[in-house]
Structure 1
Amino acid sequence: MQIKESSKIYDVIIVGSGAGGGMATKILSEAGLKVAVVEAGPFFDPADPEQMTQLKWPYESPRRGASTVRPFGDFDSAYGGWEIEGEPYTNGEDTDFKWFRSRMLGGRTNHWGRISLRFGPKDFKRKDQDGLGDNWPIGYEDVKPYYDKVDKLIGVFGTNEGLPNDPDGFFLPPPKPRLHELFYIKGARKSNIPVYPSRMSMLTKKINNERGVCFYCGQCSRACQVYADFSSGTCLIFPAQKSGGQIDLFVNCMVREVTTDDEGRATGVSYINKEDRKEYKLKGKIVVLAASACSSARILLNSKSSQHPNGLGNSSDIVGKYLHDSTGSSRVSFIPDLMNRKTYNEDGVGGMHVYTPWWLENEKLDFPRGYHIEMWGGLGMPGYGFGFNVNDFNKFFGLTVGGYGNDLRKDVKKYYGSTIGISGRGESVAQKSNYCEIDPTKVDEYGIPVLKFHYKWTDHEIKQVKHMHDTFEEIIHNMGGESLGKKPGEDENYGILAPGEIIHEVGTTRMGNDKKTSVVNSYQQMHDVKNVFIVDAGPFVSQADKNPTWTILALSWRTSDFIIEQLKQQNI
């Protein structure tokens, strides 16, 4: 097949436009570098009337907003999902890994929950506390200046609480708790479980002229038409373009491999254009991978040459290893005191106004690490399957509800807003035996070999999730509520979700000082190939009990500064 090669040479080629790729695009282009951004999905701008779904009613969808077109609802800004036609992946024996891919400019940042938590000092040095896994080669003090910069550039609401492992930051005013959150606060504090204002990247106050302020429509998963919430496109790439950055966007382009010269140095990337199905090559002095932890690993493993027979930068045989995702499980409760609520608009931000960070010490527990608690409920816009489950009310409470016509309308008004959900999101211990590799027998519709996953939860994670459910039951009891559904038991691994379902996968190109046991150094530069950097969550040594996005952003900024300095010194 003839491959068309561009004559233009970029200073930097960035693969992926999510959190890491967007930040690298902004910092590197504003430093005067010529940047190419290669994205596997289409262009997306939530302010474009042709793409805007914010403020549409569920009845404007023939499916009433059901999750049949997109995983979280028809209107959700997630072009992709766990299953994408023509883009399969496979699982090994006893593995049920769920791999979420977002195919659009800005990637997953268009529809995520925007929970924007810093890792704490302990999170970078977990082996020092429990002897499990490995420490990062960097500490909180190395990343703190960049967390501070990200807070100020993007905006995050919250409060400074002086918590040792949930560091303070530069926060905008948080929204007030809603009624269901007040119930949660009361129930949690009865058991000495702390509750604090959430830390989320929606603007509750004006920070610049490019972005609006949140108007509390509660639909952040649809991406914001006034750019009040953080998305990589609206907050990083678009501003970089407006400030004069030399940026060429290549959308709907699936990268096959990183190309190399006779010395094994990267020379650019090869990609398939989804529109004409032809292969093209871009030339670049530096390649920055930000395609997501598993996608970047796939690209590296497919980038084989005589200099890199095991995949690019994989002399350690570590690429793809130590894959891990957050643990997760949930319960939903019925709160009788919330029946027959007066209905009013309490939408708020798209997510929770309060949350519980990890509050216990592990010495008295039978599992390592910890989890934070998220919760939801209230009077948000109902869609298809909005939490009013007739069968549950009949089965668990003997309540005759539902039916048709006026009886159904009456019961919906009676019970709507009377359910509260609680979720745990916890840290798993990175295992070398959990990994992804290239499946030698299968390719996607573009002819690119696909990933095969191998993953099993350990007793550490299963016991942690058991503790989650014990905690949920206690809080629900304190709220005067009743759990909907049976508490999962040991035969169900206490309801732990499949790996990948929380969409926090990290660790496939881990960071370290020893090139025999890691893929990149402390600046996310590949040990084997000095002009290749990885700025997604692949370099994470451990996950923490926090969402990874804020750390991806901070580390990408740090790496971008390093690239600029190394170019000045002519080291790369």
Structure 2
Amino acid sequence: MQIKESPDVYDVIIVGSGAGGGMATKQLADAGFNIAVVEAGPFFDPADPKTMTQMKWPHASPRRGAGTDRAFGEFDMAYGGWEIEGEPYTHEPGTDFRWFRSHMLGGRTNHWGRISLRFGPKDFKGKTRDGYGEDWPLGYDDVKPYYDKVDKLIGVFGTNEGLENDPDGFFLPPPKPRLHELFYIKGARKSGVPVIPSRMSMLTKRINNERGVCFYCGQCSRSCSAYADFSSGSCLIFPAQKSGGKVRLYTNSVVREVTTNEEGKATGVSYISKDDRKEYKLKARVVVLAASACSSARILLNSKSKQHPNGLGNSSDVVGKYLHDSTGSSRAGFIPALMNRKPSYNEDGVGGLHVYSPWWGDNSKLDFPRGYHIEVWGGMGMPSYGFGFNANEFNKFFGTKVGGYGDVLRDDVKKYYGAVVGMAGRGEGIARKDNYCEIDKTTVDQFGIPVLKFNYKWSDLERRQATHMQQTFEEIIHNMGGEVLGDRPGGPDNGLNKPGEIIHEVGTTRMGNDPKTSVTNKYNQLHDVDNVFIVDAGPFVSQADKNCTWTILALSWRASDYIIEQLKAQNI
């Protein structure tokens, strides 16, 4: 097949436009470099009336918001999901890893929950802390200046609490707790579980002239037409296009491999255009992979050559290894005191939780390491397809029939809607070498690119953590005067979500000081090839009990500073 090669030579090619790719684009363009951003999905701007779904009522959709091609419904701004036609992935027997992909400019940052937490000092030193996993080759003090910069550039609300492993930052004013959250605060604190304002990247006050302020429509998963919440496109890539460097977007372009020369150095990338199904090559001095932890690992493993027979950057045979996702388990309860809510009660707020519980436990007294935080949901936000209550569970509780059709259904919805409060634990799983992704030698996608095969199982450490989550949820619900809905989740994994379902996968190109046991150094630079960097969550050594986006952003900025320094010194 003839491959068309562009005559242009960029300073940097960035593969992927999510959090890590967007931040690298912004910093490198601001430094004056010529950038190519290669994105597997289409262009997307949440302010474009053609794509905007914000402020549309559920009844405006023929499916009432239930999407046939989007995992979280028609109004959720994620083009893709756990399954994409023509782009499969496979599993080893006994594995059920679910791989979420969002192919669009900005990637997953268009629909994520925007919970924006820093890792703490203990999170970078897991092995020192409890003997599990490995320590990062850097510490909190190395990353703190970049967390500070991210806070100020993007904006995050919250409060400074002085907690040892949940570091303070530069926060905008947080929104006040809503009624169901006030109930949660009372129930949690009765159990000794701390509750503090959430830390989320939504603007509660203006920080520049390019972005608006949140007006509490509560539809953040649709991406924000006012640019009031953080999405990589609106907050990083669009501003980068206006800065000193040149930014060229190659959308609908699926990268096959990183190309190399006879010396084994990277020369650029090859990609297949979804528009004409032809293959193209781009050239650059530096290649930055930010396609997501698993996608970047796939690109490296498919980038085989005489100089890199095991895949690019894989002399250690570690690419794809140490894959791990956040743990997750959930529970809901019915709170009688929240019945018969007045429809005029003000439920204004952001699209997500106003309060949360950071990890509080003493692991020396528990049967599992690390911990989890608690996210809270409930209230009377705009219902859409699938809202409401589980009638069977309510019938069990009341001993009478609930729900039905017509006026009876409408009356019961008014009576019970808003009376359910739910909690979700999001915790840290331990990175293990035997949880991994690799190339499936028997399967290719619709573009002829070999796909990934997954092998992943939870251990007893994560299962015991899930049991602790459920015990905590039940206790808090009872403290709220509520009734737990449903039986405690069981099964072989004690109610844990399947690996991958929390969409926090990290660790496939882990960083370290030893090239024999790691893929990148502490600047996200491949040990084997000095002009290739990885700025997604692949280099993470451990996940922590926090969402990973704020750390992706901080490490990408740190790596970008290093790239700028090395390019100017002509070292790469």
TM class by shorter chain equals over 0.9
Q: Does 1:79 align with 2:79?
A: yes
- Aligned 8 A contact 1:158 1:197 in 2: yes
C-alpha distance in 1 between matches for 2:161 and 2:67? 38
Q: Does 1:435 align with 2:436?
A: yes
How far off its partner does 1:492 sit?
4.0
User: What is the aligned partner in structure 2 of residue 366 from structure 1?
Assistant: 367
C-alpha distance in 1 between matches for 2:9 and 2:284? 5
How far off its partner does 1:360 sit?
1.1
User: What is the aligned partner in structure 2 of residue 11 from structure 1?
Assistant: 11
Letter in 2 for 1:430: A
* Paired residue secondary structure (1:451): strand
- Aligned 8 A contact 1:79 1:104 in 2: yes
* Paired residue secondary structure (2:74): coil
User: What is the aligned partner in structure 2 of residue 555 from structure 1?
Assistant: 555
TM-score normalised to structure 1 length: 0.99
* Paired residue secondary structure (1:4): strand
C-alpha distance in 2 between matches for 1:67 and 1:194? 37
Superposed CA deviations along residues 205-239 of structure 1, whole A, max 9, x for unmatched, are 00000000000011000000000000000000001
C-alpha distance in 2 between matches for 1:55 and 1:211? 18
Q: Deviating runs (4+, > 4 A) in structure 1? A: none
C-alpha distance in 2 between matches for 1:535 and 1:398? 55
- Aligned 8 A contact 2:59 2:65 in 1: yes
Q: Does 1:313 align with 2:313?
A: yes
Q: Does 1:298 align with 2:324?
A: no
User: What is the aligned partner in structure 2 of residue 145 from structure 1?
Assistant: 145
Q: Does 1:121 align with 2:121?
A: yes
C-alpha distance in 2 between matches for 1:61 and 1:390? 25
User: What is the aligned partner in structure 2 of residue 236 from structure 1?
Assistant: 236
- Aligned 8 A contact 2:69 2:80 in 1: no
- Aligned 8 A contact 1:13 1:37 in 2: yes
Q: Does 1:220 align with 2:182?
A: no
C-alpha distance in 1 between matches for 2:281 and 2:262? 17
C-alpha distance in 1 between matches for 2:67 and 2:335? 26
- Aligned 8 A contact 1:396 1:485 in 2: no
User: What is the aligned partner in structure 2 of residue 464 from structure 1?
Assistant: 465
* Paired residue secondary structure (1:494): coil
Q: Structure 1 unaligned runs (5+)?
A: none
Correspondences of 1:512-527 after superposition (within 5 Å): 512-527=512-527
Letter in 1 for 2:525: Q
Higher mean displacement: 478-487 or 8-17: 478-487
How far off its partner does 1:393 sit?
1.2
Q: Does 1:448 align with 2:449?
A: yes
Correspondences of 1:154-233 after superposition (within 5 Å): 154-233=154-233
How far off its partner does 1:80 sit?
0.4
Letter in 1 for 2:423: I
User: What is the aligned partner in structure 2 of residue 398 from structure 1?
Assistant: 399
Letter in 2 for 1:402: G
User: What is the aligned partner in structure 1 of residue 485 from structure 2?
Assistant: 484
Letter in 2 for 1:136: W
Q: Does 1:260 align with 2:289?
A: no
Letter in 2 for 1:103: H
How far off its partner does 1:244 sit?
4.1
- Aligned 8 A contact 2:332 2:484 in 1: yes
Letter in 2 for 1:525: Q
C-alpha distance in 2 between matches for 1:81 and 1:272? 21
C-alpha distance in 2 between matches for 1:388 and 1:65? 17
How far off its partner does 1:15 sit?
0.1
User: What is the aligned partner in structure 2 of residue 505 from structure 1?
Assistant: 505
Letter in 2 for 1:41: G
User: What is the aligned partner in structure 2 of residue 287 from structure 1?
Assistant: 287
* Paired residue secondary structure (2:400): coil
- Aligned 8 A contact 2:335 2:419 in 1: yes
Letter in 1 for 2:83: E
Superposed CA deviations along residues 438-484 of structure 1, whole A, max 9, x for unmatched, are 00000000000000000010000000000000000000000011111
Letter in 2 for 1:158: G
C-alpha distance in 2 between matches for 1:499 and 1:67? 23
User: What is the aligned partner in structure 2 of residue 407 from structure 1?
Assistant: 408
Correspondences of 1:38-57 after superposition (within 5 Å): 38-57=38-57
How far off its partner does 1:247 sit?
0.2
C-alpha distance in 2 between matches for 1:63 and 1:288? 40
C-alpha distance in 1 between matches for 2:230 and 2:39? 19
User: What is the aligned partner in structure 2 of residue 425 from structure 1?
Assistant: 426
- Aligned 8 A contact 1:505 1:537 in 2: yes
TM-score normalised to structure 2 length: 0.99
User: What is the aligned partner in structure 1 of residue 32 from structure 2?
Assistant: 32
Superposed CA deviations along residues 497-532 of structure 1, whole A, max 9, x for unmatched, are 100000000000000000000000000000000000
Superposed CA deviations along residues 94-143 of structure 1, whole A, max 9, x for unmatched, are 10000000000000000000000000000000111111100000000000
How far off its partner does 1:75 sit?
0.7
C-alpha distance in 2 between matches for 1:425 and 1:310? 35
Letter in 2 for 1:207: I
Cα 1:410–1:436 change in 2 (3 A) is: same
- Aligned 8 A contact 2:466 2:494 in 1: yes
How far off its partner does 1:67 sit?
4.4
Letter in 1 for 2:319: V
C-alpha distance in 1 between matches for 2:568 and 2:386? 56
- Aligned 8 A contact 2:458 2:493 in 1: no
- Aligned 8 A contact 1:507 1:541 in 2: yes
- Aligned 8 A contact 1:198 1:354 in 2: yes
- Aligned 8 A contact 1:20 1:535 in 2: yes
How far off its partner does 1:383 sit?
0.6
User: What is the aligned partner in structure 2 of residue 530 from structure 1?
Assistant: 530
* Paired residue secondary structure (1:441): strand
Superposed CA deviations along residues 160-217 of structure 1, whole A, max 9, x for unmatched, are 0000000000000000000000000000011111100000000000000000000001
Number of matched pairs: 571
* Paired residue secondary structure (2:10): strand
- Aligned 8 A contact 1:347 1:379 in 2: no
C-alpha distance in 1 between matches for 2:315 and 2:245? 36
User: What is the aligned partner in structure 2 of residue 112 from structure 1?
Assistant: 112
- Aligned 8 A contact 1:435 1:508 in 2: yes
Letter in 2 for 1:89: Y
How far off its partner does 1:242 sit?
2.0
RMSD: 0.8
User: What is the aligned partner in structure 2 of residue 385 from structure 1?
Assistant: 386
C-alpha distance in 1 between matches for 2:40 and 2:69? 19
Letter in 2 for 1:31: A
How far off its partner does 1:396 sit?
3.9
How far off its partner does 1:89 sit?
0.1
Letter in 2 for 1:372: H
Superposed CA deviations along residues 342-364 of structure 1, whole A, max 9, x for unmatched, are 11341410100000000011000
C-alpha distance in 2 between matches for 1:323 and 1:542? 9
- Aligned 8 A contact 1:13 1:288 in 2: yes
How far off its partner does 1:385 sit?
1.1
C-alpha distance in 2 between matches for 1:543 and 1:154? 22
How far off its partner does 1:332 sit?
1.1
How far off its partner does 1:395 sit?
3.3
Letter in 2 for 1:186: K
How far off its partner does 1:432 sit?
0.1
